[in-house]
Structure 1
Amino acid sequence: MRLTASIRYAAALATAALACSIAPRTAHAQTTYVVPSLSDFSGPFSTVMPSIGGGREAVINWWNAEVGAKQGIKLQMKAYDTRFETAQTASLWPGILAEKPLVGFALGGPDTAALQQRLPNDKVVMFSASASNGFAWRPNQWILSLRPTFVHEFVGFIDWYQKTKAEGKRPIKVALVTSESSPSYVDVAKGVTAFAKANPKVVELVEVVFAEAQPADLTLQMRRVTNSGAEVILAPASIQQAIAIKRALQALNKKVPVAFAMHNAPGFIAKPMGGIGSMEGDYETQGGALATDDDTEVKRFYDMLATKYGLKAPWNGITIGGIAQALLLVRAVEAGAKKYGPDKLTGELIHKTLLETTFTSASLFGYSSDIKYDISAPFPVQNPKVNIGVVKDGKLMPAVLGYSVPKMDLW
C-alpha cells in the first residue's frame, strides 16, 4: 500500500515536473504579431475594399492555420480607415505604430506619400496593394510593391500595342485620362508623357485629360479625344472615372478600346456597365495575375480560400491584388522566422530577409512572377513584366503574359 502510494506520489511529482517544464514552452510556443491593414472604407476605393480586405484576411487565416501554427506564429490583422488620403494616413500612423507592428498592408499612392520617409526610421515594412510610383522610386524604401510602377505597366501595354496593332511601323495615337486627386494618378501622367517624348516613333500622346476622380460626365472630353484620332485610351485612375469614360464612349457611339489598370479592370466594372459584353475589345494591363476563367493555379488557390477560409470576395483583379499582397507578406514573415526564430522577428529583420530572398512564383501560387528586391527600388526593378488581358467574346482572356517592359529612366 505504501509502495503504491509512493509510486503515485512519485508519478504525481513527475507529472508536476513535466507540466512545469512544458508550461513555459507552451506559453511561448506562439508569438503574435499585429499586422496593420490600411484600408479605405469611406473614400474613393470603399467599393473595392471588401475585395482587397477579403483577400488579405483569407490569406492570413490560411497561413495562420496551415503554416504559422507550425512555426509558432500568429498574425493578427487590424484594419484602419485611411480614406485613401495622405493626411489621414499620416494622422493615424502614431497610433498604429504604438501597436509595435513589424510588417503591414498599405493601399497605394497616398500611403506611400505619407509614410515612405518615416518607415526606415520606424522599422516597419509595408506592402502596397497597388503598383509602385515614380515618386517612390528611390533607394532604401520600406513600402514595397509586388508590381512595377503604373507607368511601367502602361508603357508595357503601349509598346505591345504598337508592335501588335501597328506592326512596329508607325507610332500609335494614345490618349490618357487621369486625375489630380491622387499622387499616383498624377505620376502616371508624368511618366507616360516622358516616355512619349523620348519615343516618338512608338507613341503619339494626343492628349492628357485631367478630370475629377468621380466625374459626372466625360462626354465632352471623349468627343475631343476621339476626334483627335486616338486609337486607344489609357484609364489608370479611379473606378468611377473608368465607368465615366466607357459611358461617354457609348453615348458617342465610338468603339475606341480602353486599357484599364488592375484596380478598375473590366471584370470589376462590368457589373455597373451592364455586363462584361459592354467591355468587348477593352484591355487590362498590370504586373499581377489576370482574373481569367482558365483553370490556373491562381484560380485554384482562390477557390480553396473561398471553400475553407471564408473568402467571400468575387473573382476579379481587385481580390487578386489583396491575395497577392498578403501572400508576399506571409512568405516574408515565414522566411524571416526560419532564419532568425519565430519569437525574434523585427521589422529590420523582415526588411533584411526581403533583400536576401527570392520569392518564387510557385511559393506565391502564381499570383506574381518571381520577386527579388534590391536596395535600389521599392519594386522588383530587374526586367519588369506585365500581363495584358483582353475582353473577347464576353470573357477576359490573356492577350500576352510576361511581356517585358521597355527600359525606362526615372521621369
Structure 2
Amino acid sequence: MKTNRAKLSAMVKLRQHGALLASALCLGGMAQAQTTYNVAGLADFTGPFADIMKDMTGCRRAVLEWWSEEVGKAQGVALRIKDFDTRYDVAQVASLWPGIKSELNPVAVLGVGGADTNALQQRLPSDKVPLVQSTAGYGFAWKGDNWVFNARATYPHEAAAFYVWMQKKSGSLAPLKVGVISSEVSPAYVDIHKGVEKFARDNPKIIEVVETIYTEAQPTDLTQQVSRLVRKGATVLQVFNNTASVVATRRALQSLGKTNIPIVVSAHNGLLSSGKALGDLSQMDGNYEVYGMAMAAEGATPARDFFEKLRSQYKLQAAYNSACIMGMSQAMLTVRAVENVVKVKGAGGVTGEEVRAALVSTPMPTERSFGLLPNIKFNNDAPFPTSGTAVNIGTVEKGKYKLLEQNVPVPVLSKW
C-alpha cells in the first residue's frame, strides 16, 4: 500500500512539473510570437509578362521573409504573401479582387502594373488597402489622395529623361526622331505613348515622334511596321510594351539591316531578359534601358549584396535582373511602411489605412532600401514622386551588360 501511494505521489508530482514546464514553454512562445499580417500578391504567370514573373515574385517574397525574420520578429510582426495569377488582365483583376480581399484581409497589395491600377484604383479608397506597384507610374492615375503607389515617376517621365540625355550626347541641335512601338491591349501601353507624344509636342527641339505603331499583345513579326518607321527617318525606337515586342522589333531591324538604330526599353522588358529571349545578350548590343531604380550591373553594390544575402540565407531562387529588382523594390517600400506603423501603433495596429499613411508621411532614404531605390518621398498630389527624381541608363557592349549613366535628372512634364 505504501509502495502504491509513493508511486501515485511521484506521478502527481511529475504531472505537476510537466504542466508547469508546458506553461513556461507556452509563455515563452507567446513572448516570441509574431502577429501575422497578409499581403496580396498580384502576378502574371500566364499572360504577357509570364517570362519575368518567377524572378519578380520570388524576389519580393524573399524580401518579406527577410524582413519578418530580421526586423519584424523584434517588433512582434510577420508578413505573409499569397500570389494570384491575373494574366495582366483588367477584367481578371477586378473579378478576383473581392475574393482576395475576403480571403486575406490584406494590409497591402503588391501589383504588376497598369492592369492592376486600372482595375483597382477606384475600389481601394473604400477598401482601405494600398496598392504598391513594381513599375513606373501612369498618367491615368495622376491625381491626389491616391491609394496606388509607384516608387518611380511615370514611364513618359523616364523616357523623357532618356531623350534629353541622348540628344545632348548626340552633339546635334536636331531633335531625335522617335518611332514608338505600342499597343492598345493595355491601358498602361496607351498611357505611355500618349505621355511621350505630349512631351514631344511640348518639346519639339528635343524629340519628334515620327509614328506610333500599334501591335497585338505579343507580336511575332514586326518587319513591315518597323520598315515603315525606318522609312520615316526614325533614329531610335521606343519599346516599352513587353519582351516579345522587343524581340520582334530587334529581329525586324536585323532583317532590314538596320541594327544601328537603337531600341530603348524599360525595366519590365529590360536588356537582360530581352537578350535571354533572343538567345544571346550580344543580340542587344547598342541598345538601351532606362528606369529610376538600381540596375543589375556587375560588381559589388548594396543592392547586389542584399540580393546575395536573400539567395544564400532565404532560399531565393531567381536571377539578378531588372524584374527581380522591381520585386525587391516594391516589397521594400511595403515592409518599411509596415515597420513605421508598428513603431507608432504597436504590433496590433497594422491596417491598410495605417500603411498608406506611413507611405505618404515617411520618406525612405536610399540606404533604407539598400540602394534599390533613390530617396523616395510621396505626397498627396500624385501616386509617385513628382520632384527630385532621376533615372539610370544601361546598355550592352560586346555582349556585356553595362551601367552607362547614373542619376540622370527627370524633367518636369505636364499632365496628358
TM bucket normalised to smaller = over 0.9
Between 340-349 and 20-29, report the one with greater CA deviation. Answer: 20-29
How far apart are the structure 2 equivalents of 1:360 and 1:208? 38
How far apart are the structure 1 equivalents of 2:328 and 2:288? 22
So what's the TM-score if we normalise by structure 2? Answer: 0.92
On the 8 A contact 2:218/2:244 being kept in 1, the answer is yes
How far apart are the structure 2 equivalents of 1:344 and 1:24? 22
- Aligned counterpart, 1:125: 130
User: Which amino acid is the alignment partner of residue 226 of structure 1?
Assistant: V
How far apart are the structure 1 equivalents of 2:41 and 2:372? 20
- Aligned counterpart, 1:66: 70
How far apart are the structure 2 equivalents of 1:25 and 1:386? 46
Shift of 1:225: 1.0
On the 8 A contact 1:292/1:395 being kept in 2, the answer is no
Shift of 1:25: 8.0
- Aligned counterpart, 1:372: 377
How far apart are the structure 2 equivalents of 1:328 and 1:118? 21
How far apart are the structure 2 equivalents of 1:188 and 1:18? 61
- Aligned counterpart, 1:213: 217
- Aligned counterpart, 1:153: 158
User: Which amino acid is the alignment partner of residue 314 of structure 1?
Assistant: A
- Aligned counterpart, 1:409: 414
Between 230-239 and 392-401, report the one with greater CA deviation. Answer: 392-401
Gaps of 5+ in 1: none
> Does residue 1:90 correspond to 2:90, yes or no?
no
User: Which amino acid is the alignment partner of residue 105 of structure 1?
Assistant: L
Q: Report SS of the residue matched to 2:94.
A: helix
So what's the TM-score if we normalise by structure 1? Answer: 0.93
User: Which amino acid is the alignment partner of residue 274 of structure 2?
Assistant: I
Compared CA separation, residues 28 and 316, structure 1 to 2 (3 A)? closer
* Aligned counterparts, 1:171-190, within 5 A: 171-190=175-194
> Does residue 1:104 correspond to 2:109, yes or no?
yes
On the 8 A contact 2:32/2:73 being kept in 1, the answer is no
Q: Report SS of the residue matched to 1:410.
A: coil
Count matched residues: 401
> Does residue 1:52 correspond to 2:78, yes or no?
no
> Does residue 1:194 correspond to 2:194, yes or no?
no
> Does residue 1:29 correspond to 2:33, yes or no?
yes
Between 286-295 and 106-115, report the one with greater CA deviation. Answer: 286-295
- Aligned counterpart, 1:360: 365
Query: Which of 302, 305, 310 is the equivalent residue of 2:307?
Result: 302
> Does residue 1:384 correspond to 2:377, yes or no?
no
Shift of 1:27: 7.5
On the 8 A contact 2:59/2:325 being kept in 1, the answer is yes
Render the CA deviation track for 1:147-166: whole Å, top value 9, x for unaligned.
11111111111111111113
Shift of 1:105: 0.6
Compared CA separation, residues 110 and 294, structure 1 to 2 (3 A)? same
- Aligned counterpart, 2:3: none
Gaps of 5+ in 2: 1-8
User: Which amino acid is the alignment partner of residue 245 of structure 2?
Assistant: Q
Query: Which of 321, 326, 330 is the equivalent residue of 1:325?
Result: 330
How far apart are the structure 2 equivalents of 1:270 and 1:150? 21
- Aligned counterpart, 2:81: 77
Pairwise CA RMSD: 2.0
How far apart are the structure 2 equivalents of 1:256 and 1:185? 22
- Aligned counterpart, 1:230: 234
How far apart are the structure 2 equivalents of 1:316 and 1:95? 32
How far apart are the structure 1 equivalents of 2:168 and 2:326? 28
- Aligned counterpart, 2:283: 278
Shift of 1:22: 6.8
On the 8 A contact 1:166/1:172 being kept in 2, the answer is no
% of aligned pairs identical?
Answer: 40
Between 232-241 and 293-302, report the one with greater CA deviation. Answer: 293-302
Q: Report SS of the residue matched to 1:77.
A: strand
Render the CA deviation track for 1:80-131: whole Å, top value 9, x for unaligned.
1111011111111111111211112111001000100111111101111111
Render the CA deviation track for 1:251-304: whole Å, top value 9, x for unaligned.
111020110010111111112213111111100011111111122111111111
Shift of 1:20: 7.5
Compared CA separation, residues 18 and 309, structure 1 to 2 (3 A)? closer
